[in-house]
């Protein structure tokens, strides 16, 4: 009768009443009390399962937390108590076999992957391709982002979150790269349960509510870290974040003590996007180009030391003064270089291609010429980068 895919489900329903009703002490009593003939507990298969459960192997706590939160969302507080205190009823009782049954059942309505959690895709080939093909004029970003993110996500048990701070003028690709990361690391991209994007002026607009925002932000970070073993938090307009909010981000970015066995996701990436010191990057690049360097010869050594020191010195800015920067909680400052005419052309070409429209070389030139180039004298860098190129194309077509 109870065969095939329904069997695990049925077993699961049987086991559902267990939470709260059971403690390790009383477990054996419960098994005996429920042996009436009509009781499901008397089913022979259950007796076998009982044996298997007793022989339970170590349970993946993280997986269990994830699972139980999906199934019993209201039960979270109890979960935390159970996790914080003695191992609780679940650890001795629930074994690998039980977990397998749960997994089968869970996967019958949520898609599962051989890798475990389908929501996380970590497609580094895709990320590399996107960075090399879709991003223009940012050779430093290409190298740095791929190697640090990949290195971090391939570390078995990182003791720290990875924090990258993207700097550069608007339109140079900071948001674009953040989206590439979301799309290649998570199946659902920015809409994933494991990805959260905050825009300072939209999510935290009123300084007078900063205490409320702090609580919310703390809660959201903790909650997401418990739901996903790999999380991505993006803070756009980071230069506009209130200092109080930046303080909240200190603890999640700090190094974890090895014995600290929090049930939180071990892999957490924080991205901070800002135009802070974008002018300085442009000055350095302009000077190097004028000195005869080619753009591709510019290295991190030219830019990064400037960037970090200067950000700390930005006295009027919360970000520079937060402990994130002061205490070196940011792992890398990633400079986005100002874009030149030829890069804007490439952005225009991509926009045509993505809309499956035909274009000519002349059209690309016309679009690139619509942008304003600075500084006045050299007219070298597009002041808006590649921003709103696709809108310009629509304008051009109409």
Ligand X SMILES: *[C@@H]1O[C@H](CO)[C@@H](O)[C@H](O)[C@H]1NC(C)=O
CB nearer ligand X, residue 136 or residue 240: 136
**Closest CB to ligand X belongs to which residue?**
126
Give min distance, CB of 358 to ligand X, in A: 24
Give min distance, CB of 230 to ligand X, in A: 16
Give min distance, CB of 129 to ligand X, in A: 5
Give min distance, CB of 385 to ligand X, in A: 24
CB nearer ligand X, residue 115 or residue 398: 115
CB nearer ligand X, residue 158 or residue 189: 189
Q: Over the chain, what HEC string results?
A: CCCCCHHHHHHHHHHCCCCCCCCCCCHHHHHHHCCCCCCHHHCHHHHHHHHHHHCCCCCCHHHHHHHHHHHCHHHHHHHHHHHHCCCCCHHHHCCHHHHHHHHHHHHHHCCCECCECCCECCCHHHHHHHHHHHCCCCHHHHHHHHHHHHHHHCCCCCCCCEEEEEECCCCCCHHHHHHHHHHHHECCHHHCCCEEEEEHHHHCCCHHHHHHHHHHHHHHHHHHHHHCCEEEEEEECHHHCCHHHHHHCHHHHCCCCCCCCCCCCCEEEEEEEECCCHHHHHHHHHHHHHCCCCHHHCCHHHHHHHHHHHHHHCCCCHHHHCHHHHCCCCCEEEECCCCEHHHHHHHHHHHHHHCCCCCCHHHHHHHHHCCCEECCCCCCEECCCCCCHHHHHHHHHC
CB nearer ligand X, residue 150 or residue 222: 150
CB nearer ligand X, residue 121 or residue 282: 121
Give min distance, CB of 58 to ligand X, in A: 30
Give min distance, CB of 63 to ligand X, in A: 22
List residues near ligand X by CB under 6 A: 121, 123, 125-126, 129
CB nearer ligand X, residue 126 or residue 189: 126
Give min distance, CB of 152 to ligand X, in A: 19
CB nearer ligand X, residue 65 or residue 184: 184
């Amino acid at each position: 009768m109870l065969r095939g895919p329904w069997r695990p489900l049925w077993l699961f329903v049987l086991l559902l009443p267990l939470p709260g009703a059971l403690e390790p002490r009383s477990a054996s009593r419960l098994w005996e009390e429920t042996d009436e003939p009509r009781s499901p507990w008397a089913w022979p298969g259950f007796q076998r399962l009982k044996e298997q459960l007793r022989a339970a192997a170590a349970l993946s706590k993280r997986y269990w937390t994830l699972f139980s939160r999906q199934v019993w969302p209201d039960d979270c507080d109890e979960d935390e108590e159970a996790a914080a205190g003695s191992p609780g009823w679940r650890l001795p009782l629930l074994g690998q076999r039980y977990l397998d049954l749960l997994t089968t059942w869970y996967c019958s309505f949520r898609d599962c992957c051989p890798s475990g959690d389908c929501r996380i895709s970590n497609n580094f080939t895709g990320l590399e391709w996107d960075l090399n093909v879709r991003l223009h004029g940012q050779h430093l970003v290409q190298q740095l982002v791929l190697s640090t993110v990949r290195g971090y996500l391939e570390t078995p048990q990182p003791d720290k979150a990875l924090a990258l701070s993207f700097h550069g003028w608007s339109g140079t690709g900071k948001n674009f790269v953040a989206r590439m990361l979301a799309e290649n690391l998570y199946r659902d991209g920015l809409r994933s349960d494991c990805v959260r994007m905050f825009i300072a002026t939209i999510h935290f607009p009123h300084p007078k509510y900063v205490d409320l925002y702090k609580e919310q932000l703390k809660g959201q970070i903790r909650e997401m870290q418990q739901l996903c073993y790999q999380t991505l938090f993006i803070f756009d307009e980071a230069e506009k974040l209130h200092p109080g909010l930046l303080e909240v981000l200190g603890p999640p970015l700090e190094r974890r003590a090895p014995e600290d066995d929090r049930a939180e996701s071990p892999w957490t990436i924080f991205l901070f996007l800002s135009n802070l010191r974008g002018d300085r990057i442009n000055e350095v690049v302009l000077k190097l180009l004028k000195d005869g360097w080619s753009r591709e010869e510019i290295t991190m050594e030219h830019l990064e030391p400037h960037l970090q020191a200067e950000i700390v010195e930005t006295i009027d800015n919360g970000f520079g003064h937060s402990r994130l920067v002061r205490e070196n909680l940011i792992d890398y400052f990633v400079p986005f270089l100002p874009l030149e005419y030829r890069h804007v052309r490439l952005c225009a070409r991509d926009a045509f291609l993505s809309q499956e429209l035909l274009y000519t070389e002349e059209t690309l030139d016309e679009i690139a010429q619509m942008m304003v180039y600075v500084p006045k004298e050299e007219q070298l860098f597009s002041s808006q980068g590649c921003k709103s190129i696709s809108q310009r194309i629509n304008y051009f077509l109409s």
